[in-house]
Structure 1
Amino acid sequence: MPLYVYEVVLPDGSGGEQFEVIQRMSADPLTKHPETGEPVRRVFGEPNTPRAWTDMQGKAAVSDKNLAAKGFTKYVKTGDGTYDKTAGTGPKKLKRGK
């Protein structure tokens, strides 16, 4: 359920104290403060949307330093069936058996 922000409407029409209420999208907006009974109006705020993922963030997420810090081991193929470790713990080389 969404979190809505309301504000108390002061006698001069300006906005007063703000408070948050979790309510269904299908519910009617509040017209009175649930505790004091003062008139209120819903305030439209900035939506909380995720940021776009950039190439730079992607490269940083899979960098050798970041992978090692997260406990992963990364190997890079160097030849036919041979892999060298570039990050993390584990054997320095892996060789595929034939």
Structure 2
Amino acid sequence: MRRLQRVLSRPVGSLTIPGTTLATILAEGWASWPMETGGLLLGHRANHHGLGAVAARVIGPGPEARHERYGFEPDATWQAKQVAIVLDAGQHP
């Protein structure tokens, strides 16, 4: 058990969130306040060693998402369509 705890507590990289991506995340959070919200982050590896990532794009919760005070359920169908649009258009983050 201790070995597993050591492995799980080791840093494995970093996540870079560019200013425009962070602004989108914050806007969504404030728009739903005080209810919970969520979404998807799409991005890429920051380097060839796979030790970091860049969150380049945000896909919001979706129009049919359920926002509650202590819970959130995304509109997964809408989110999947948005991911497909990004991938089909070759707009990989």
The interval holding the TM-score normalised by the smaller chain is: under 0.3
The TM-score with structure 1 as length reference comes to 0.23
Query: What TM-score results when the alignment is normalised by the length of structure 2?
Result: 0.24
Query: Quick check: which one's helix share is greater?
Result: 2
Q: Over alpha carbons, which structure has the higher Rg? A: 1
Higher relative contact order (CA 8 A, sep 6+): 2
Which structure has greater strand proportion? Answer: 1
